[in-house]
């Protein structure tokens, strides 16, 4: 039986079943909730599959490195080029993280702009986003899967909403996109509170009461779906932070200051590079740039090892759970350079995890300056993660809650919030707006210009 015929019969049976329900208020609420539930289950399943594939893709680069490091000069440029070509050819708005595209989709969402939003959130975006980012990871790209998961999830919610029959009670497209993004972050990191706070702090500018029921239910369903397959895992585990010293408060302030400045500086540099790169009008010039980025990453790997490549999770785990907890002074700059040459290629790939890794290395370096104990070091590492991510996103509460949920270290909550607030303040010295805000405005301008050109 063709899928279209099956879906038509399913819609007819559902309509007949709900027509029998006498309570109109209950029926309307139930019908409006079902699309969120279906999309949440799909998000959880896709997020789990994507996470497993991403891990396997990262292992490819490591195995090639172990076999013969010089093969990276073949693997990395090939992967970078193919990942960039996929996005450039099939889904230009699938490039980069995906969070600015979701923000642009929310702002543009309306009855007359569905076609424009479809360029940002669609089935094509999902496919290209997954494949391009996996290829980048195979080549050792310093990217993450969390931002892409958010764009993928928002696309799933939008697609589910678009498939509703005419008789179905209407669900606001904006509500679906916001809820989808929150569910995506919750499923990607296994951080339900982080997803909720992310929706409040970063995505929606209206009162939370309009979204709370949908967001709560979707985050729970997407998270439980992921946990049903992966188990109740923590993204990073349980670092020791008990019995920290009283003076560590000053260390948290110092780490927050440095990581906030570095995070916002990296974001500023990325924007400058992207602005310069926009002047490259020919395919040959773009190809040359992508190859140059790939070679630059390989050189970083040859000079500094595997810490320069990948999402950076291994950097965080090494600092938090091994005796080698005091990193070399150059590691934050290596992570920043790796992220920049990967992110600016125009291929798909997020910056959440790389930012956390760069921040962890800042905390590790500062701890080494004062030869701090394991527990004090771990607290500074977590503070650095919050500070650097805040410098990039300007979302201090989201950053603090994410790191808190990744490690289940509730006793650090005040230190993490402090780190986020300090980092947010010092980031203003570099730029008043976040990387995502700048990119969101860029995407909106591109879409509106394209629309005017058509008319």
Residue spans per domain, the chain: 3-230, 248-442
Quick one: which of 362, 355, 312, 287 has its CA closest to 97?
355
Position 298 scores a pLDDT of 96
Q: How far apart are CA 362 and CA 264, in angstroms?
A: 14
pLDDT in tens, 227-251: 777 766 677 788 888 888 888 989 9
User: How far from chain centre, in Å, is Cα 123?
Assistant: 18
Does domain 3-230 sit in CATH 3.40.30.10? no
Tokens of 43: 């998000």
Tokens of 352: 């959440």
**327 phi, psi to nearest 5 deg:** -75, 160
Domain 248-442 fold is Clc chloride channel (1.10.3080)
Q: How far apart are CA 294 and CA 290, in angstroms?
A: 6
For residues 118 and 159, the answer to whether their CB atoms sit within 8 Å is no
Position 163 scores a pLDDT of 86
| Helices and strands in the chain, H and E counts | 19, 0
Position 12 scores a pLDDT of 65
Low-confidence ranges of the chain (pLDDT < 50): 207
Q: Report CA torsion sign: 409, 412, 414, 415.
A: negative
SS3 of the chain: helix, strand, coil, percent, to 5:
75, 0, 20
Position 168 scores a pLDDT of 77
Neighbours of 213 (CB within 10 A): 15
Nearest-10 Cα torsion for 51, 57, 62, 64: 170
pTM for the full model?
0.89
Phi-psi region of 310 (alpha: psi -120 to 50; beta: other; left: phi over 0): left
For residues 403 and 316, the answer to whether their CB atoms sit within 8 Å is no
Position 315 scores a pLDDT of 92
Task: Please determine whether the domains at 3-230 and 248-442 fall in the same fold group of CATH.
Answer: yes
Tokens of 157: 């919610």
What is the DSSP code (8-state) at residue 96? B
């Amino acid at each position: 039986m063709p899928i279209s015929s099956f879906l038509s019969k399913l819609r007819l049976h559902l309509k007949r079943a709900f027509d029998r329900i006498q309570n109109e208020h209950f029926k309307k609420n139930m019908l409006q909730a079902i699309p969120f539930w279906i999309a949440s289950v799909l998000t959880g399943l896709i997020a789990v599959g994507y996470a497993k594939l991403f891990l396997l893709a990262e292992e490819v680069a490591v195995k090639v490195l172990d076999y013969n490091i010089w093969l990276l000069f073949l693997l990395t440029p090939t992967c970078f080029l193919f990942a960039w070509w996929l996005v450039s050819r099939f889904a230009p708005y699938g490039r980069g993280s995906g969070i600015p595209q979701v923000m642009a989709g929310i702002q543009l969402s309306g009855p007359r702009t569905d076609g424009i939003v479809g360029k940002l959130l669609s089935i094509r975006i999902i496919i290209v986003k997954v494949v391009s980012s996996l290829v980048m990871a195979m080549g050792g790209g310093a990217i993450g899967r969390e931002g892409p998961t958010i764009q993928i999830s928002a696309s799933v919610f939008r697609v589910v909403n678009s498939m509703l029959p005419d008789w179905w009670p209407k669900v606001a497209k904006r509500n679906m996109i916001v809820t989808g993004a929150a569910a995506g972050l919750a499923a990607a990191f296994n951080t339900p509170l982080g997803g909720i706070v992310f929706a409040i702090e970063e995505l929606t500018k209206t009162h939370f009461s309009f979204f709370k029921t949908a967001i709560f239910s979707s985050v729970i369903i997407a998270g439980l779906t992921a946990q049903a397959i992966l188990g109740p895992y923590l993204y990073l585990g349980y670092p020791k932070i008990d019995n920290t010293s009283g003076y560590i408060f000053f260390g948290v302030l110092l780490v927050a200051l440095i990581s906030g400045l570095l995070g916002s500086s990296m974001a500023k540099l990325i924007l400058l590079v992207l602005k310069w790169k926009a002047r490259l009008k020919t395919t040959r010039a773009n190809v040359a740039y992508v190859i140059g980025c790939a070679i630059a990453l390989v050189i970083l790997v040859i000079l500094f090892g595997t810490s320069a490549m990948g999402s950076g999770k291994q950097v965080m785990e090494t600092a938090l759970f091994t005796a080698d907890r005091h990193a070399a002074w150059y590691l934050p700059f290596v992570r920043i350079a790796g992220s920049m040459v990967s992110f600016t290629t125009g291929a798909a790939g997020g910056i959440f995890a790389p930012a956390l890794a760069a921040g962890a290395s800042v905390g590790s370096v500062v701890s080494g300056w004062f030869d701090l104990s394991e527990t004090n070091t771990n607290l500074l590492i977590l503070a650095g993660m919050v500070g650097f991510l805040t410098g990039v996103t300007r979302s201090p509460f989201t950053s603090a809650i994410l790191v808190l949920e990744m490690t289940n270290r509730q006793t650090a909550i005040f230190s993490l919030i402090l780190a986020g607030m300090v980092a947010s303040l010092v980031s203003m010295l570099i730029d008043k707006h976040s990387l995502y805000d700048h990119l969101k405005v860029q995407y909106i301008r591109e879409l509106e210009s394209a629309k005017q050109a058509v008319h």
